[in-house]
Structure 1
Amino acid sequence: MTNTTAPGWAPAPRQGLVPLYPYGFGTIMGRSFAALRGNPKVLLLFVVGVQTLAMTLYLAALLGISAAAFSRADTVDPASAEFQDLMWGAAAITLIGGIVLTFALAAVTTIAQGVVIAEVSHAALAEKAPFSRLWKRVRPAFWRLFGYSLLIGLATIIALAVLAVPLVLLGLANTPVTWVFFVVLLLLELLGGIVVYAWLGTKLFFVPSAIVLERVRPFRAIARSWTLTRGRFWPTFGVAALLYLVTNIAASVISSALSLFAPLITSTLVPFGVGESTSVAATVLGFVFLGLSSILSFAIASIMTIITGAGGVLTYIDARMREEGIDLRMRRYVEAHGDADDPYEFLEGAQPSPHASPVAPPTAYPAYGAPPQYAPPQYGAYATQPPAPGAPTVPASSSDGHAPSSDGPVPSSDGAVPPRPADPGSRPQPPAPPV
């Protein structure tokens, strides 16, 4: 039995989604997928369910607006001038309705993105937060996050328009020489666009996380992301690119399988060549399967978006651990059971984590004959394990019951820095007994 009255004893921190020290590429990739298991009630039922429902309503509303707008043209002679006016009016109504519905769908997607960021940040602190608590963090950042999405969309449209202007001018010239220049310029723009998109996407990879967790405005979040990726461009690019490839390939494979089986099911249920009524039934059934496959594909894409978003948050937390030492504040927060300052708050002049250096002090192992240490449980539970004799500890609270105010590592009596915690799930072995 553990002796909880021994000098220097302190309960081990709860195990969260990630270790409370700077981690690496493999941890980010693995924990991005594991985030789905931490709080499925929020991530699957809300993020995926609500987004899929919103997409279903979007398609139904857009179809209804189009049918109502263009149905008026059926009562008019197609050769008349009124028919043309009705068609132009129906097209305008459908376009305006589509824009409004797109903004509404983007708002739902923004909320889902913020919920993913908030959930992963709580999971990293070994907390399984309900939606109400996540919403308290997301609600103040909603308009800033939505405004950033609009800003990115507007910048993309302007960039595409600028790139399209010279291509249109070369196409209008319609000479053999201009078409050669058209092809060359198109290839250069495609290659250059991919490079610029990858570079900007990496430099802005932390913007949504900074908006939600640091509660800053979009332009301040852009500056924060730019600073945090300085010197860490390639690791950040590797995580973003690999997550993008894995999720998009998986979504494409599943969507292709659905598109392949839908015609087979339709032709099996309604054979062709029987009559006009059968042809109409086949057409209707085809549209139904097309809509269902689109909705299912969107649900799968939402799951992949959760994985990508989780990877972005974990990369952001790792970068802040290395640059600003928030792992020390996260440990104090966990050990104080949440009765401490928000560890994700930006503090001016914060120092890098002492555990980020490759020459960080090794983990202190127990002396021979000491009680064995066991791996801490999954996050949400508590573990008690005695530290090694003489190993410094980070106190959970001060004598007055409040969390320490220092942002740096708490030294021991001889001025030593706390050792880097052991990897989750590891079980140190005692050294061999003396011969």
Structure 2
Amino acid sequence: MSQDNHNEPESGGAGRPGSGSEPSPPPQAPWAQQPQWGQQPQWGQQQQWGQQPQWGQQPDPSQAPYGQPGWNSSPYGAPGYAQGPYPPGQYTAPPKPGVIPLRPLGLGEIMDGAFQACRRNPAATFGIAVLIQAVISVLTVIFGQSLLAPISDIGLESELTDEQAISLGTTAITGGTALTIVSAIGILMMQGLLVIPVARAILNLKTGFGQTWRLAKGSALRLAGLGLLLFAAAAVGIVAFIFFLVLVIEFLGPFGVFLTVVGVLAVVAVFAWLSVKLALAPAALVAEPRGVFAAIARSWNLTRGNWWRTFGILLLTSVIVSIIVSVISTPITMLITLFASFGTQEAAADDLSAVLPVLILTTAVSAFFGAIGYAFQAAVTSLLYIDLRMRREGFDVALMKDQEIAAASGPEFVPGRNMPPAGSGQWPQGPYPGSA
């Protein structure tokens, strides 16, 4: 009797047979317990990957189906096999407030962005280019007139005296040098000034003709100084090379001719290399802004590791522009030359100044179409400068911040000019991921 009482469970206890409740499950080992969702499993436990979907219910893509290890997730915070760098549904494309998206650009985006920037700001881009080319054209006509007038006075059938030959040679060298300097300064000034409307077009800000000159106030003299410096360096290099070639040919004879050919090819290669390394100096001088030598150093650093890409884009742009301009302007100039009648042929033979109107018209046509081509090339160079800054410095993030404050900064706002100095920590200074 006592043993029966001893084996009988106590009344009122849980799991009692007479209590009407289900029997309690057998105890489980601690490592077999399933953790709650969002908790890290303890040592030896298995991660709870999700619940099985009910009949007719779609499974949750963030959970693995049927309790198996996740195809789109991984334990301990590691990304899954099918999980990209962004969580599902959270990736957004870079904004495109203006002519280009705010991220590193491809070749097609640079070309299209340059065309769109010129089309949206025709007065600031084509107007400045036409003005600069008009000045160069006027100087070209004056230079042509200065050469044609003495020859017309002397006559074609007369022999030139020593004094007349020296005078014509001096005039040609002096006028040609001055015209070359002015042309170089004009092209650099065009490349520097057009970076302002292009940079503002990135944030969908329109720029007028006079506004461009106001925003570039103080940069014109520095651009002229940059042009003079580059021209002087090129002139010194050419003179030194010619002097070296004369000495080589004089002392080496026939073998010196071979060295001359090799030297010319080497000079062309060095000139192309330096031209690409310094191509972004006008844009950096105006956009940031910087001094002459600081702009040269800036262009040198931006093209480091990107020389071939920069060279390819600039060369392709130059070839495309040259072909289009030649196809359009050459037939027009030929028609002017053939059908423009300014006197009889006998009069033209006696007076060379009679061809001056033809020279003016052909120069004007070439200058007009050339200005359009130069404007497009300058816009491509400006976008290439901005693209390299985005690749090396994260300038696209700075442009996103400028987009937020552009409306409140007034109509004279230029993107990138209000950036803190390098190393301040407010803007990203490291290279863009994946950039060379």
TM-score interval (norm. to shorter):
0.5 to 0.7
For 1:154-188, what per-residue CA distance to the aligned partner results, in whole angstroms no more than 9, with x for missing partners? 12112222221233235556xxx713431x12321
Q: In the aligned structure 2, how far is the partner of 1:199 from the partner of 1:303? A: 26
C-alpha deviation, 1:95, in angstroms? 5.2
Aligned AA (2:281) = V
**Distance verdict in 2 for CA 1:127–1:19, change over 3 Å:** same
* Contact persistence 2:184–2:231 (CA under 8 A): no
**Residue in structure 2 matched with residue 344 of structure 1 by the alignment:** 416
C-alpha deviation, 1:39, in angstroms? 0.7
**Residue in structure 2 matched with residue 25 of structure 1 by the alignment:** 107
Q: In the aligned structure 2, how far is the partner of 1:14 from the partner of 1:335? A: 13
- TM (normalized to structure 2)? 0.65
**Distance verdict in 2 for CA 1:290–1:329, change over 3 Å:** same
Note the 1:31-430 alignment, pairs <5 A: 31-48=113-130, 50-66=131-147, 85=163, 88=166, 92=170, 96=174, 103=181, 107-172=185-250, 178-182=253-257, 184-258=258-332, 260-266=334-340, 276-277=346-347, 286-339=355-408, 343-345=415-417, 347-349=421-423, 350-351=427-428, 356-357=432-433
Q: In the aligned structure 1, how far is the partner of 2:332 from the partner of 2:283? A: 34
**Distance verdict in 2 for CA 1:244–1:338, change over 3 Å:** same
**Distance verdict in 2 for CA 1:28–1:344, change over 3 Å:** same
- TM (normalized to structure 1)? 0.65
Larger radius of gyration: 2
- Which runs of 5 or more residues in structure 1 are unaligned? 1-11, 360-435
Instruction: Describe the SS at the equivalent of 1:19.
Output: coil
Q: In the aligned structure 2, how far is the partner of 1:203 from the partner of 1:108? A: 19
**Residue in structure 2 matched with residue 378 of structure 1 by the alignment:** none
Q: In the aligned structure 2, how far is the partner of 1:186 from the partner of 1:329? A: 50
**Distance verdict in 2 for CA 1:253–1:224, change over 3 Å:** same
Aligned length in residues? 332
Q: In the aligned structure 1, how far is the partner of 2:380 from the partner of 2:122? A: 17
Q: In the aligned structure 2, how far is the partner of 1:334 from the partner of 1:291? A: 46
**Residue in structure 2 matched with residue 15 of structure 1 by the alignment:** 97
* Contact persistence 1:21–1:327 (CA under 8 A): yes
* Contact persistence 2:196–2:414 (CA under 8 A): no
**Distance verdict in 2 for CA 1:332–1:255, change over 3 Å:** same
Higher relative contact order (CA 8 A, sep 6+): 1
For 1:245-297, what per-residue CA distance to the aligned partner results, in whole angstroms no more than 9, with x for missing partners? 2222333444543454344325xx5898xx7458669x766543343222211
Q: In the aligned structure 2, how far is the partner of 1:348 from the partner of 1:232? A: 21
* Contact persistence 2:145–2:356 (CA under 8 A): no
- Which runs of 5 or more residues in structure 2 are unaligned? 1-93
* Contact persistence 2:198–2:379 (CA under 8 A): yes
For 1:92-138, what per-residue CA distance to the aligned partner results, in whole angstroms no more than 9, with x for missing partners? 46655665566555555444333212111111121112233321332
